[in-house]
A and B are shown apart, each in its own frame.
Chain A
Amino acid sequence: MARHWRAGAAGLAVLGLTLTACGGAKVGDSSSSGSKSSGKCGTFNLAVNPWVGYEADAAVVAYVAQHNLGCTVNKKDLKEEIAWQGFGTGEVDAVLENWGHDDLKKKYITGQKTAVEAGQTGNKGLIGWYVPPWLAKAHPDITDWKNLNKYASHFKTSESGGKGQLLDGDPSYVTNDAALVKNLKLDFKVVYAGSETALIQAFRKAEKNKEWVLGYFYEPQWFMSEVPLVKVKLPAYKTGCDADAAKVACDYPVYDLDKIVSAKFAKSGSPAYDLVKNFNWTNDDQNTVAKYIAVDKMSPDAAAEKWVEANKDKVDAWVK
């Protein structure tokens, strides 16, 4: 037995040596050596909140930081709450697309003083009630809230208890819908879909099968390029009309989406901070990159590269 085993081991060793001899390129050969990050930028911890528009922002900023400034970019996939929490613990340097979130600003900017504002992204955030395009075409007057009660019975579902259904989405976003329905005396019930996925599926299906859906939605959003939803007009927003959450009876304000950075990062003198501060583009820009990612299924990095190649002048303005 022992002899067998020795012979086997010897055979194996020979086999191993042969394989190693004709093994091919070695790890660490010059061809495969990684990109070196030079200089003063160091690491840049970028939070990536879970929606495609944000991912587009993050992709482009990360691409520029990496290629133009030589930063080592750590993208961290986090929900808003956790990302803001990370300012204090030093785990997150920047949040690139903040939707309002006065509660978080109060807590982390004025309260704990761990975060500071870094200007607007140039994107305008709209929030409101939307219907699928076929419905707006078939019943043009539906886009005025005053006519909603007329159609309420069409919006009935198994969930809405005899009233029309107003479908709300991901709880991350600001919503006054329950108060709005009550104060505008609409014959509707808010049903909580619970996630953006559920909301998008509902609209997609509604447009395809010509179903009646009224739902909470927002732009910029990649899904708008697939199904261009139509916004329902609510009573116009005036400053302060949403001050008391229980008495709101007006539309949502237009949000100027802004950037937030950690207080430490703002003082660090890192070129990445200047990039974040200067970063500014339009809704169309973001939609283009978001479409590359969501519809054309490009990787964020490839999508960013494509956009940066085509928009050199804008990028130059950010890093000058």
Chain B
Amino acid sequence: MNDRTIWEKMMQVDRRVIYLIVAIVMIVPIIFPFDLPIKISKRTTLKLFNAIEKFPEQRSVFFISADLNPQDQPELYPMLVSWIRHCFHRKIKVLVMCLYPTSLGLAEQALNQVSTEFNNRASQGIGRRIVYGEDYVFLGYKPPPIVPILGLGENIFDVFPRDFYGNELKDYSTLPMMENIKNYRDMDMIGSIAANTLPVTYIAYAQARYGIAVTGGVTAVSVADFYPYLDSGQLTGMLEGMKGAAEYEGLIRETFPEEDGRRLATEGMSAQSTTHLAIILMVVLGNVCFFMQRRHESRRG
């Protein structure tokens, strides 16, 4: 047992030591945050931001399919909040739908959070008030995914006779923005926030058939699956995990100086960087230990 080399000992280190190291390098920057420059990705984040910036004010509609679950919340929730903030700043109407039941609570929370932020600022004389039915409508949940995706291309009132709160969608006195929205032709873009391949489903069923622009907000683990659709122009930009969300938060803060809402993704970016650095060092160290041990064994015969 005592014959073990330092390399061998390091390769057999208890996994809990690794967890502890990762926890420390993650927690320290959270408690003592420091700013690191966040480079904006041109072909993903900036492309999407610029596309939304080009929407005409007042009459544009951004349709968000908010299909995030509690387990994806740290990555996807900041994206949803950022998109809603951006649309409200630009006076773009927002329609939100969920294709999974567990997404409802998070989608409603994001809408309430951002509208409260705007209304609090408006009460101090900064910016404008956000009114449900005029600036946004929460459609609620409708399964199974392909059926509402196709149905919305024909007639939104058939798919959602009522909104999430039970208001008749055709009751234009309560939901005046719905007067000019009948199907995808009246919307400018679909934004699909999901931890699975739902953005591709929107490309296949909504874009291919009805020609509407589609963008995605996806978890980092699934980003690689969407690059081909980005290169082919089927996706108009994309947000890639927590980093993409932090980039978008930065762009909004830069463009709209009055925006003072909490930047959830940016808060985690310094921890993200230190943890990545630690993991890279551990991967390098693991490889060094492996090769040194092999060299030691070959010398010993």
Indicate, yes or no, whether A interacts with B: no
